């Protein structure tokens, strides 16, 4: 296998395997590179290892074997404190469940995370993000007052407030219907065109055309790596 060469990659996994304490072999010898600027999809059935792959790629979890580089930095043996500091302002995550703070407004959900991470006063940035997401009319609403699609856009906004170079999303449309899912992926495409690299897991075959490249997982192994088919989705997020 070709070794790392110092090219511009957002994610590099080399012979990565993951075995959990209960004996589950989630990943088996994964070799994967994601170039900066790509919009890569990870597809496969439930239990194929998609979430584990994303967690390891983003430094949330650690491999049992293998090597991980994130934005050209080897993170394999970093401490949790080093990882947290390194990811700050570089990597953000969006999950299937929105994890919004129910007692906080939309605006507060965006600014609170940035404040916890020591990014200072980001209210102006948050307002711009909400305008981009077409949520300015919802900034004083609380999560229970929003639709599912709006809540997911708030979760995306919370990620964007960190101004990441890489956005990792795990089944981000799993709780939405297909039309809302397409709107979220159209939003992702527009953000990708602005320079953010995306690594996204989905089981929804209808969303595959949005990706520039697709990686297929089955039973913790890579099965294939194919180009997207060039579908041109609506730009309305």
Strand partners for 6: none
The pLDDT of residue 226 is 53
Percent of the chain at pLDDT > 90 equals 63
* Domain ranges, residue 129: 9-227
The pLDDT of residue 2 is 38
Is 3 within a domain?
A: no
Asked if 117 contacts 88 with a C-beta cutoff of 8 angstroms, the reply is: yes
Q: How confident is the model at residue 9 (pLDDT cuts 50, 70, 90)?
A: very high
Q: Once rounded to an integer, what is the mean pLDDT over residues 114-127? A: 79
What is the rounded CA–CA span in Å between residue 39 and residue 35?
Answer: 9
| Sign of the dihedral defined by the CA atoms of residues 86, 89, 90, 94, in that order | positive
What is the rounded CA–CA span in Å between residue 42 and residue 61?
Answer: 17
Instruction: Write out pLDDT tens, residues 90-108.
Output: 999 998 888 899 999 999 9
Is 234 within a domain?
A: no
Q: How confident is the model at residue 230 (pLDDT cuts 50, 70, 90)?
A: very low
Asked if 132 contacts 188 with a C-beta cutoff of 8 angstroms, the reply is: no
Contacts of 228 (CB under 8 A, 6+ apart): 39, 41, 208, 209, 210, 211, 212, 213, 214
Return the higher-pLDDT residue of 31 and 98. Answer: 31
Is 179 within a domain?
A: yes
Strand partners for 11: 34, 70
Q: How confident is the model at residue 235 (pLDDT cuts 50, 70, 90)?
A: very low
Is 233 within a domain?
A: no
Q: How confident is the model at residue 185 (pLDDT cuts 50, 70, 90)?
A: very high
Lowest-confidence range among 7-11, 49-53, 112-116? Answer: 112-116
Is 37 within a domain?
A: yes
Residue whose C-alpha is closest to residue 40's, from 228, 229, 232: 228
Q: At what angle do helices 106-116 and 148-160 cross, to 10 degrees?
A: 30
The pLDDT of residue 232 is 37
Q: How many separate domains does the chain show?
A: 1
What is the rounded CA–CA span in Å between residue 145 and residue 190?
Answer: 26
How big is the CA angle at 73 (ends 68 and 75), to the nearest 5 degrees?
45
Element (H, E) at 175: none
Instruction: Write out pLDDT tens, residues 33-44.
Output: 999 999 999 998
The pLDDT of residue 229 is 39
The pLDDT of residue 45 is 87
Is 47 within a domain?
A: yes
What is the rounded CA–CA span in Å between residue 49 and residue 27?
Answer: 6
Is 1 within a domain?
A: no
| Sign of the dihedral defined by the CA atoms of residues 63, 67, 73, 77, in that order | positive
The pLDDT of residue 212 is 93
What is the rounded CA–CA span in Å between residue 103 and residue 235?
Answer: 31
The CATH number assigned to the domain holding 18 equals 3.40.50.300
**Strand, helix or coil for residue 45:** coil
Is 4 within a domain?
A: no
Lowest-confidence range among 54-68, 135-149, 220-234? Answer: 220-234
Q: Which of 61-65, 98-102, 151-155, 202-206 has the highest mean pLDDT?
A: 61-65
Q: How confident is the model at residue 180 (pLDDT cuts 50, 70, 90)?
A: confident
Q: Once rounded to an integer, what is the mean pLDDT over residues 100-117? A: 88
> What values do phi and psi take at 59, rounded to 5?
80, 15
Reported in sequence order, the residue ranges of 61-149 that DSSP labels E, i.e. its strands, are 65-70, 73-74, 91-95
**Strand, helix or coil for residue 129:** helix
């Amino acid at each position: 296998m070709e070794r790392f060469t110092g090219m511009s990659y957002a994610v590099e996994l080399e012979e990565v395997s993951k075995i959990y304490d209960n004996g589950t072999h989630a990943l088996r010898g994964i070799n994967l590179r994601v170039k900066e600027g790509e919009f890569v999809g990870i597809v496969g059935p439930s239990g194929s290892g998609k979430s584990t792959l994303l967690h390891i790629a983003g430094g949330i979890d650690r491999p049992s074997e293998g090597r991980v580089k994130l934005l050209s930095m080897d993170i394999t043996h970093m401490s949790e404190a080093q990882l947290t500091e390194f990811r700050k302002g570089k990597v953000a995550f969006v999950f299937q469940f929105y994890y919004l703070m129910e007692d906080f407004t939309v605006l507060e959900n965006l600014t609170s995370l940035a404040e916890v991470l020591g990014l200072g006063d980001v209210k102006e940035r948050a307002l711009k993000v909400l305008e981009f997401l077409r949520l300015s009319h919802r900034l004083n609403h609380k999560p229970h007052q929003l639709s599912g699609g709006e809540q997911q856009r708030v979760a995306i906004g919370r990620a964007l407030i960190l101004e990441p170079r890489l956005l990792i999303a795990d089944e981000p449309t799993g709780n939405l219907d297909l039309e809302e899912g397409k709107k979220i992926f159209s939003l992702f495409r527009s953000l990708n065109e602005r320079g953010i690299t995306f690594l996204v897991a989905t089981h929804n075959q209808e969303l595959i055309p949005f990706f520039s490249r697709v990686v297929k997982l089955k039973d913790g192994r890579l099965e294939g790596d194919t180009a997207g088919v060039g579908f041109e989705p609506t730009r309305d997020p």
